[in-house]
Amino acid sequence: MEEVEVLLELWEYFLPVLVAALAGGLIGIEREYRDKSAGFRTMILIAVGSALFTILSTTIAGPKGEMTRIAAGVVSGVGFLGAGAILKDGITIKGLTTAASIWLVASLGMGAGAGEFALVGAVTLLILIVLWALPPFERWLDRLHEFIEIHITIKNSDEDEDEILDIFDECKIKVVQITRSRVVKGERIVHIKAKMTPQKRTTLSEILVNEKVVLAFES
């Protein structure tokens, strides 16, 4: 009888860890398939670690203890992991989806550790739908945009260049690449590759025509 009670107690602790590993593994498969930095094993480890910390917070602190401190520590630690997955390549930022996945997997692990299995299952399903089903929709949206190269002549001034980039930000135009030609007679040509809709291209052209810092431009 005592052996059965021991087994039941062990199962009570092991089940949340198993659920966390399953949830993390399912999301990790998608990340691994897309060859991302945080893949199958990493996601499982994050989920299991978060679940274990959550379980330990209840056993160490007791039913009347302060359990939120360990949970807060998990969130902070996962934040560092997520930051490590974000890479900046020029003006392009990569790894945001992986960082968000790490953050969500940790929350799933904490949910499993707290015994919220139904919630963990539902959220895992939702995340999988987002990761697997939405990329084709994103590609369809991208086809509504076109990549345009714009060559803008300005004075050899970083402030003037910042003003140009501010215009792109205000128009909500995504700049993909920036290069600069050699300075000639106190002028520089800024070559900007951006993604925009035809309507935004027209709006941008109208703004650049009337912008004082723009000496000339072509696209």
Domain segments of the chain as ranges = 2-140, 146-218
Give the confidence band of 90 by pLDDT, cuts at 50, 70, 90.
low
Q: Would the pTM count as exceeding 0.75?
A: no
> What tokens does 212 get?
């004082």
The topology under which CATH files domain 146-218 is Alpha-Beta Plaits (3.30.70)
Q: Write down the pLDDT at residue 51.
A: 93
Instruction: Look over the chain and give the mean of its residue pLDDT values, rounded to a whole number.
Output: 84
196 token code pair: 């925009």
The tens digit of pLDDT for each residue in 66-87 reads 667 777 778 788 887 777 777 7
pLDDT above 80 (res 10): no
Instruction: Pinpoint the alpha helices (H) of the chain.
Output: 2-33, 40-61, 68-84, 96-113, 117-143, 158-170, 198-210
Helix 40-61 with 96-113: angle, nearest 10 deg? 40
